[in-house]
Amino acid sequence: MYDTSYHRASSVDEAVNLRSSHDEGRYLSGGMTLIATMKQRLAAPSDLIDLRHIPALKGISVEGRRVRIGAATSHAEVAASSALRAVCPAISDLASMIGDPHVRHMGTIGGSVANDDPAADYPAAVLGLGATVITDRREIAADDFFTGMFETALDEGEMITAIAFDAPDKAGYAKFRNPASRYAITGVFVAKTGSGVRVAVTGAGSNGVFRHAGMEAALSTSWVPESVASVSVDASALMSDLHATAEYRANLVRVMAKRAVASAG
């Protein structure tokens, strides 16, 4: 790791100000990607602005069907929240499947969404739920937020403060893990919401998380696992790597979608 300066922010304003005064600075949340990348000397931020001690970024609120998860809320907290589980068990289940216990107690939803790793789980949930990404300066619809692998609509220095969504009628998530990293080779989040069915796929797309219109249409017609089993998935838009070919991922998109619908009930 190269030398870096550590700052602990106690408020959103302080964090944003610190960030704007350090051109080569980075926000640090759980650090589950950033610290590992820095240790590999693949990232060298001059300053780290730690967001984990800002009270406004923490906690989960459920008011009626409206859910708000603070950006610095850990995966373990999302997995364990009974209020959240009561209205949207799918996102708690998803959080309980991220990484390992260490990762789940350090990693945060804001960090994961901002990083937009193409194999991360949360982008599928945020896109699948049609959630709103709330930042220090605006609100961004999930459909506009994820713009490519490790790329989002966030401006330089812009910080996620919360993720908000209306609890869906039904939702489910299923993923197939990479045998080495245990990241999603393919993960599919399905949701039946007031504004329609949404199907979001992570881990598979060559341009990051994406929605699958064919599956959404099929599930809108009939919300049963069999509906997605025969939907065609275009392999040409999917990644190929050591662990999975595009054809295999196309198969997994169908299989995981089917299992996600089954888990949603």
Point out which residues bind another protein (CB under 8 A).
1-2, 40-41, 176, 178-181, 183, 242-245, 248, 251-252, 255
Edge-to-edge strand order for the sheet containing 5-8?
Answer: 5-8, 47-50, 25-28
The residue (of 178 and 193) whose beta carbon lies closer to another protein is 178
Least distance in Å: CB of 217 to another protein?
22
CA-based Rg of the chain, rounded to a whole angstrom? 18
Structure tokens at 39: 């240790």
Based on DSSP, count helices (H) and strands (E) in the chain, helices before strands.
12, 14
**223 and 198 Cβ atoms separated by less than 8 Å:** no
Q: Where are the beta strands (DSSP E) in 205-244?
A: 210-211
The residue (of 24 and 242) whose beta carbon lies closer to another protein is 242
Least distance in Å: CB of 180 to another protein?
4
Spatial distance between the Cα atoms of 216 and 22, rounded to a whole number of angstroms: 43
The residue (of 17 and 245) whose beta carbon lies closer to another protein is 245
The residue (of 176 and 210) whose beta carbon lies closer to another protein is 176
- Other C-beta atoms closer than 10 Å to the C-beta of 200 total 29
Spatial distance between the Cα atoms of 108 and 72, rounded to a whole number of angstroms: 5
Least distance in Å: CB of 138 to another protein?
34
In 3D space, the residue among 264, 121, 256, 252 whose CA is nearest the CA of residue 192 turns out to be 264
Least distance in Å: CB of 27 to another protein?
23
The residue (of 41 and 195) whose beta carbon lies closer to another protein is 41
Least distance in Å: CB of 139 to another protein?
34
The residue (of 16 and 204) whose beta carbon lies closer to another protein is 204
Q: Are strands 47-50 and 5-8 parallel, antiparallel or unpaired?
A: parallel
Q: 120 φ, ψ to 5°?
A: -80, 160
Least distance in Å: CB of 59 to another protein?
32
